Chain A
Amino acid sequence: MLLCGLAVLGTLVLIVYELMLRSGPSWHAFGFKFFSGHDWDPVSEQFGALPFIYGTLVSSILALIIAVPLSIGVAVFTTEMCPPMVRGPLSFFVELLAAIPSVVYGLWAIFVLVPILNNYVGPVLARTLGWTGLFSGPFYGVSMLAAGIILAIMIIPIISSITREVLMVVPQHQREAALALGATRWEMIRVGVLRNARAGIMGGIILGLGRALGETMAVTMVIGNNPQIVKSLFAPGYTMASVLANEFSEATGDIYRSALIEIGLALFVVTIVVNALARLLVWTVTRGQPSRADA
């Protein structure tokens, strides 16, 4: 048993060790410039990861902007508003979303979401919000925008199920107290429930962010895979995970492969930090029973 426990620890150590070892050549060749360089040119062995970092950040933030209000709405509805009859099936369906493999999301996005965006949503956005510069330029559906939307669909189940758990931990007397003071239902939810659950909801959001940052297949299939930094969300982009998926198995040459592994290392470090933060926040709410609960 102890050996198995050690194996779990060992796995993590192994991951860190292998990533650091194999990314060494690239680290020695480029140093910190690796993360600020724009050029990704395997032929002349020039590697700068900035376009990928940019793509990962923008697509994930876009996904959060779409997913957070929706997930909190769903969680509030299931815990505070809906009749108990509906609650079970509803949360089951939302959990089903989490069980769909990422490659199937990608498949759906290619054949359904992208055409819809291209034919209907794109022109409308260009007409109404084109002046912001975020929705301008040629649009073929395959874009940063499509990646953000499919990521949002994928992280909604995570954020909403954690938010639901956190909302259910909020003591019942908080709700009753708010109602007794004459609050309407929404005021009760805002003051009595959401305010108490802030830290936990934040944890759920960050956990969703962690998932979005590392998500590979669905994004790779719709983001367009173009290593350039463009302001418009209509333009194709590229993410850290996608470049690994597309180029790793064909990477020839040590420095090329080690540059890709360094991207993997960066992705690993970022997701670990993000996840640790999220766990901490969720724990303080659901386990530690925060001191503020009985204030």
Chain B
Amino acid sequence: MPETNKPETGEPPALHTVPPIALRRRITNHVMTGAAVLTVILVLVPLFAIFAYLIYRGVGSLNWAFLTQTPRPVGEAGGGMANAIVGSVLILALASIIGVPLGVGAGIYVAEYGRNRFGDAIRFTADVLNGVPSIVVGIVAFAIVVLDQGHFSALAGGVALAIMMIPTITRTTEEMLLLVPQALREAAYGLGIPRWRATLSITLRTATSGVITGIMLAFARVAGETAPLLFTALGNQFWNVRINEPTAALPLQIYTYALSPYDDWHRQAWAGAFVLIVLIVSAVAAVRFAVRRGTFGAA
């Protein structure tokens, strides 16, 4: 649709007519439009290839045993990743217990009390932390938990993931709290409610759905992380629900199985990837749905 020049030529007596656009410019225009469309196609092809292949291999490989059994000994077909699924849940629960209160608290501080140098410093730090490579976070968790305890553990994995959750939650919480109208806070102060109480019961409460959105996004982001777990949770072939033991996790298991030479393990890696993606995508989709519906009354 080459809606090119001359929007509306207002003057009826055309003293100087608009010259036709030079052929070269018109061709350039079409070529560049074509190039833009081409880039979209080039980007979408791998995306569809990844999803299609994941569903094709993943659904085909998924079975009841995969969801309910633990891994068989090396080289033996069958078995599943039930322990890794439970391990992931355990590590993510630990990460959330540590990360969510800290992240939300820091977000509240920055939004409600952070109109100063110190608030800016925290905001900047959160952005910096967001960019720290996940493997480096793994090293730090190793240094502070594993070296201290003397062995790999689910707790160390949880600490690593918590460090990765905090900055995301801090920033989204801040954004959501800032959407709450100032009048609500003033109304609370006008009723003689102390500031901390107003923050918790009025501001935070109004922004709840947004804050939860942020938490879910952070959760989805760390749920698939592998690198920080490599030398913290380490992985485990057996059942484990104790936080002081090495623990299996879904992404770790996918990594190990993908690099193994066994076909059956490759199959299970695909099944694991499928389960992981279903978990993450449904979380993200739920968040998008919630955000669209719950653009709560912050005018």
Report which A residues bind B (CB closer than 8 A). Answer: 1-5, 7-9, 11-12, 14-15, 18-19, 21-22, 69-74, 76-77, 81, 90, 92-94, 96-97, 99-108, 110-112, 153, 156, 160, 179-180, 182-187, 189, 207, 210, 213-217, 221, 241, 244-245, 248-249, 260-261, 264, 267-268, 271-272, 274-276, 279
Contacts and interface: CB of A to CB of B under 8 A. Distances in A.
A261 B273 contact: no
B269 A107 contact: yes
Given A5-B114, A107-B258, A187 B105 contact: no
A5 B118 contact: yes
B184 interface: no
A14 B140 contact: yes
Contact of A187 (B25, B51, B128, B139): B25
B18 interface: yes
Interface residues of B, number: 96
B131 A96 contact: no
14 contacts: A8-B126, A8-B166, A15-B132, A15-B137, A19-B140, A19-B143, A71-B43, A100-B280, A104-B277, A107-B273, A108-B54, A216-B227, A245-B135, A268-B132
B77 interface: no
Interface stretch (B30-38, B62-70, B185-193): B30-38
A15 B140 contact: yes
A272 B29 contact: no
Given A76-B36, A271-B132, A111 B277 contact: no
Contacts of A101: 223-226, 251, 276-277, 280
Contacts of A15: 129, 132, 136-137, 140, 163
A182 to B, nearest CB: 4
B163 A73 contact: no
Given A73-B36, A108-B50, A187-B25, A100 B277 contact: yes
A104 B259 contact: no
Contacts of B286: none
Given A182-B21, A267-B136, A12 B101 contact: no
B26 interface: yes
Contact of B143 (A22, A81, A244): A22
Interface string B3-18: 1111100000000001
A260 to B, nearest CB: 8
A180 B6 CA distance: 7
A251 to B, nearest CB: 9
B135 A8 contact: no
Given A221-B255, A249-B230, A19 B47 contact: no
Given A5-B118, A8-B106, A107-B273, A94 B43 contact: yes
B46 interface: yes
Contact of B227 (A3, A12, A102): A102
Contact of A186 (B32, B114, B136, B266): B32
B226 A217 contact: yes
B264 interface: no
B231 A249 contact: yes
Given A77-B37, A112-B49, A1 B109 contact: yes
B234 interface: yes
A202 B35 CA distance: 21
A241 B105 contact: no
Contacts of B251: 101, 103, 217
A103 B253 CA distance: 10
Among A4, A105, A180, A279, chain B packs the most CB atoms within 10 A around the CB of A4
B247 interface: no
A19 B113 contact: no
B167 interface: yes
Among A96, A217, A267, chain B packs the most CB atoms within 10 A around the CB of A217
A164 to B, nearest CB: 12
A67 to B, nearest CB: 9
Contacts of A189: 32
Interface string B108-134: 111011100011011001111111111
Contacts of B138: 244, 248
Contacts of B110: 5
A97 B105 CA distance: 30
Given A8-B167, A184-B5, 13 more contacts: A5-B110, A9-B122, A19-B136, A19-B139, A21-B143, A70-B43, A90-B40, A103-B226, A104-B277, A106-B255, A112-B53, A156-B43, A185-B3
